[in-house]
Amino acid sequence: MFKSKFLYCFFILNILLISITSESRELSVSDIVERSSSSVVQIIAYDITGKEEGQGSGFFIAPGQIITNAHVINKR
């Protein structure tokens, strides 16, 4: 199951990178940041007692779906 999630994430990231690099010839860095910043989220992980265990970032790939790196949400 982990392998399939990893492959899915890898696939999505590749699509995003391809679309960004193909558009980057036409858009400035500030244009790309402006377009994508509303999709970026901060993720904060808490333990069962409510103590913060870590944080990271991610971004929306669809309504209600966020993608992030595994180390952001995995317990250390």
Distances (CA, A) of 50 to 15, 43, 58, 64, 75: 36, 14, 21, 23, 14
Q: What ranges make up the beta strands (E) of 7-72?
A: 40-46, 52-62, 65-68
The answer to whether the pTM exceeds 0.75 is: no
pLDDT at residue number 75: 64
Q: Largest alpha-carbon pair distance within the chain?
A: 49
pLDDT at residue number 24: 47
Instruction: Note the pLDDT tens digit of each residue in 34-53.
Output: 888 888 899 888 888 999 88
Query: Could you give the CA distance from residue 73 to residue 15 in angstroms, rounded to a whole number?
Result: 23
pLDDT at residue number 49: 93
Instruction: Note the pLDDT tens digit of each residue in 12-36.
Output: 776 666 666 554 467 788 888 888 8
- Domains in the chain: boundaries: 2-73
